[in-house]
Amino acid sequence: MYKIKFIALKELRHIMRDPRSLVIAILMPILMTLLYGYAINLDIKNIKLAVIDFDKTSASSDLIGRFYNSEYFSKATDQVYIDDPEMILKKGQANAVLIIGPGLGEAIQKLKNIQNPANLMIDKYELGLTVDGADANMAAAAGSYSSIIVTQVIKDNLPPGFELPGIRISRQVFYNPDLKSSHFFVPGLIAVILMMISALLTSVTIAREKETGTMEQLLTTPITPRQIIIAKMLPYIGLAILDGIIVLGFGVFHFGVPFIGSTLLLFVFGVIYVITALAIGILISTMVKTQLLAMMGAMIVTVLPAVMLSGFIFEIKNMPMILQIITHIVPARYFILIIRGIMLKGSSIELLWVEGLFLILLTIVLLAVATRRFKLGVD
């Protein structure tokens, strides 16, 4: 440890003297959290809606007002004059077209004057909704939002004591009752940022020694390759933990992501994950000779798998089987499950020990391979 301390202090001085490393380590995670936190959002709002009103009554005007006064729909950008829903969508004037046929006012008046609940099933009236299905998520959201608004209109016009007929569903949502996308994405974003930044920082450490010609001097010291790797990782562990705290703080206090689990448990798993990411960077650093190649390699090896193959955005179970198998060697896959479980569900070690074990195994394998490659390079 005495020898490791001096190499670690040397690496720490390198970090402090290199403003690029400090910018990467401190400023980039903050910018990425803000940019991705706002950019990656599945909450679909302001769907452009055109209305074709054949009823022309106060009831139809009230219904149109309900649509446009909600946060889900907005008026079409262009004035719609034609009564051809398909043409409106084809021209891109709107994402959806609400068609109000004759008889809405009469149907609403019948609801207000109804005396027998059994009559709710008589004289059905239907609205039309034509949706642009090119964006499947938007189309599904438009249909769901429309049903909510129309159902509320019917409820508001029924006499006191009457309820809608048919089967009712009582919906209860756990862990994210407001269904905010940020609650789902920000914890995963923390995992992606930590993976990228940690690997990026350590990927240049050995490559820098090679590029500046100081590797030979380092090897003349009475220290083993394993000790060199450990010493070079130590300063970056502290730096990565600081990054994690900063990004987590933005997620909780800026985006309002709940944190209901154990802080200590997340810290322990976070340290393991950071060491895994640093080990990837060290391994890349042993394979290249320049800092530029090391940084490019770190970006390719960490960002694409962490975003595409970790469950951050896309469900792993929906991927082809070959990709599902590959995801088992992506560290972000396990940490995303851990951080979402702790932050959103309050999961304990009894539920997360398998993911933690996989992270430890990956770390051991990566460090062993990195050490062996470094030895071969020395020899």
> How do residues 39-65 score in pLDDT, each as one tens digit?
666 667 788 888 888 888 898 899 889
Structural domain boundaries in the chain: 2-41+180-378, 47-157
| Alpha-carbon separation of residue 57 from 85, 108, 123, 326 (angstroms) | 21, 11, 19, 60
Note whether 258 and 342 are within 8 A (CB): no
Tens of pLDDT, residue by residue over 320-354, are: 889 889 999 999 999 999 998 999 888 889 989 99
Note whether 279 and 370 are within 8 A (CB): yes
CA 194 remoteness from chain centre: 14
CATH class of 47-157: alpha beta
Q: How many CB atoms lie within 10 A of CB 43?
A: 12
Give the pLDDT score at 361.
93
pTM: 0.71
| Across 17-26, 304-313, 342-351, least confident range | 17-26
Give me the phi and psi of 290, to 5 degrees please: -125, 155
- For range 201-205, the mean pLDDT: 79
Note whether 4 and 234 are within 8 A (CB): yes
- For range 76-82, the mean pLDDT: 67
| Choice between 232 and 365, residue whose per-residue pLDDT is larger | 365
Strands 73-75 and 128-131: unpaired
